[in-house]
Amino acid sequence: MSSIAFTNIATLVTNDVSAGEGAIGVLHNATVVVEDGLISQITQTRPSGVDSEVDCSGKTLLPGFVDSHSHLIFAGDRADEFATRSQGAKYTAGGIASTVKATRAASDADLRQNAQRLLNEALSTGTTTMEIKSGYGLTEKDELRSLAIASEFTDETTLLAAHVIPEEFESNPDGYVELIINSIIPKSKAKWIDAFCDLDAFDPEQSEAILRAGVAAGMQVRIHANQLSAGVGVALAVALDAASADHVSKSTNADIELLASSNTVATLLPGAEFSTHLQSGLGRRFLDAGATVAIASDCNPGSSYTTTIPFCIATAVSLLGFTVEEAVKAATLGGAQALRRTDIGMVSVGKRADFVLLNAPSYIHLAYRPGVNLVHSTYKSGRAVTSWQK
């Protein structure tokens, strides 16, 4: 067995309210001991018998960020579309078609290289777990190859063939739904099934049929719901015991109350709200209702081209009405809950030693110093890592 002690931690965020102060279980001048990739001890005394030490004086240690919503398998970008929105154009998701065209034309090597680049960005800013969706192929071949590439980087893979209706099926959307159910789902090895249940995407009946087919094939449910318009996406998520309902920008008070009384996490995407100017103060509605909340990057080339969870934390505080503590918890423990993971998202004995060490005396600096990369080191299973590996 090998052991390492992280000593003299100025501020330790545990996310365990029984272990420390406040809503995120804060300790000061603490030590965390890791043995064979798992946290074995949290103490405020100096440990003995460890193999090595990392002096964390003046620094903050917190759980690694858990990004439970991303779209990393794509080619090209949509910078022009973003510039158009800055001039007042509304986001409609219509630009997805251009990314589909570029992704279909890209080689496996190009898609893999782009994903690796983005994952390395995420790692450098403290992300240790990342969900990756398909959804820019929209053919059997391209969806399955997108998932195959994603699986090289994460076990948290999501089939999102139900992203939009591809151009070749515009006059026959039910035909595309049948393709997903009868051809793509049976060959998919994804952990999760997802559908964009919203305006100009998939209607409730189509979404439910796809999600139920995924469940029958052994996948678990998550859903894009109520981003562009109020609808039944949240109700569908709760009815299917989805792990997460994502975006939820246009949710009604009844939707929020339903989520608060369910096992489904409300995953908010501050980068998308920042980019598309959809909703301000959104988070406060869910938090005040008592819903379990996660925040994630939604990294994609159209509406949220960021891999940086600290940016999302700062945006959640400044735009969506979170406190710093609520945003940090949502980006760590909330993300873990959105993936139904119990081994990550906390600094607690027995959990995986996935955490981030900040060059700052407090986690507050994540929102206090927006745009500044404060990450000293990112650790996965207790080992400092600089390039993303599964």
Q: What is the pLDDT of residues 21-74, one digit of tens each?
A: 999 999 999 999 999 999 999 998 888 889 999 999 999 999 999 999 999 999
302 is in an annotated binding site: yes
Buried b (16+ CB within 10 A) or exposed e, 109-118: eebbebbbeb
For the chain, what is the domain count?
2
pLDDT for position 278: 63
Within 10 Å of residue 84's Cβ, how many Cβ atoms?
A: 14
Residues 297 and 179 in one domain: yes
State yes or no: 300 annotated in a binding site: yes
> Structure tokens of 390?
């599964």
- 95 assigned to a ligand binding site: no
For residue 195, being part of any structural domain is answered with: yes
Contact 134, 160 (CB under 8 A): yes
Q: What is the pLDDT of residues 281-309, one digit of tens each?
A: 789 999 999 999 999 999 999 999 999 99
Residue 1 confidence (pLDDT) above 90: no
In a domain? residue 390? no
- The answer to whether 28 is a known ligand-binding residue is no
Domain holding 46: CATH number? 2.30.40.10
User: Is there a single domain that holds both residue 89 and residue 17?
Assistant: no
- Of 239, 228, 79, 218, which Cα lies nearest the Cα of 159? 218
Cα Rg, the chain, nearest whole Å = 20
Buried b vs exposed e over 162-180: b needs ≥16 C-beta within 10 Å? Answer: bbbbbeebeeebeebbebb
303 among annotated binding-site residues: yes
Task: Bin 29: left if φ > 0, else alpha if -120 < ψ < 50, else beta.
Answer: left
Annotated ligand binding at 277? The verdict is no
- Whole-angstrom Cα distance, residue 88 to residue 83? 9
Mean pLDDT check: name the lowest of 83-92, 149-158, 296-305.
83-92
Tell me the pLDDT tens digit for each residue of 225-239.
999 888 999 999 999
Q: What pLDDT digit, counting tens, does each position of 185-211 carry?
A: 999 999 999 999 998 899 999 999 999
Mean pLDDT, residues 122-147? 98
What CATH number is associated with residue 271?
3.20.20.140
Are residue 79 and residue 32 in the same domain, yes or no? no
Structure tokens at 3: 């052991």
Q: Is residue 94 scored above 90 in pLDDT?
A: no
Q: What integer pLDDT is reported at residue 213 of this predicted model?
A: 98
Q: How many helices (H) and strands (E) does the chain have?
A: 14, 17
* Arithmetic mean of pLDDT, 235-252: 96
Whether 227 has a binding-site annotation, put simply, is yes
Structure token digits, residue 293: 């909340």
Q: In this predicted structure, what is the pLDDT of residue 279?
A: 63
Mode of pairing for the β-strands spanning 60-63 and 3-13: parallel
Mean of the per-residue pLDDT values of the chain: 95
Q: Is 376 annotated as a binding residue?
A: no
Identify the domain containing residue 379 by its residue range: 3-64+346-384
pLDDT cut 70: percent of the chain above it: 98
d(CA 373, CA 383): 20
Residue pair 153/119 in contact (Cβ under 8 Å)? The answer is yes
